Structure formats: C-alpha cells, structure tokens
Amino acid sequence: MRILLAIYAIGVLLALWRTDAAWGTRVALALFWPVGPLAFFITVSILLAAAAIAFPMFGAAVLVAGGVAWWALS
C-alpha cells in the first residue's frame, strides 16, 4: 500500500510541477490523474470483450488461453 501511495504522491507532485495551467486546473489534474490510466484499462477490457464476441475464433482462443492459465495457476 505504501508503494501505491508513493506512486500517487509522485504523480501529484509531477502534475503540480509540469502542468502549464492555472493553479485550480493544476490541483484538479494532480488529484485526479489516476482516472486516466483507469479509464484506459476499462476501455481496453471492454474492447477485448467486444472483439471476443464479434470474432468467434478470437473468443475461442481467449477461452482456451484463460482455461490453460487457470489450470496452470491452480
């Protein structure tokens, strides 16, 4: 947990230091910067799920890979 807080604090400091905007915008960006990577991961996961439905061979490959990974890690 300390590592995640340290990463967040470093991101806040970098956003305050490197953003070329008014102080209100700097503070908002500094506090909400993790939303960007989170939105990226959510978008990519939705696109992969849609691709698995739209392209059945890809979906089958994902199911097989998931089954093998589950079997290997269990």
pLDDT of residue 31: 81
By C-alpha distance, which of 67, 66, 7 is closest to 33? 7
Average pLDDT across each block of 10 residues of the chain; the chain has 74 residues. List them in order: 87 83 83 86 95 95 96 94
On the CB side of 66, how many CA atoms lie within 13 Å of its CA? 7
For the chain, what are the domain ranges?
1-33, 43-74
pLDDT of residue 64: 97
Between helix 35-54 and helix 56-73 the angle, nearest 10°, is: 120
Answering whether pTM is above 0.75, one says no
The letter for the amino acid at 12 is V
What gap in Å lies between CA 23 and CA 20, rounded to an integer? 9
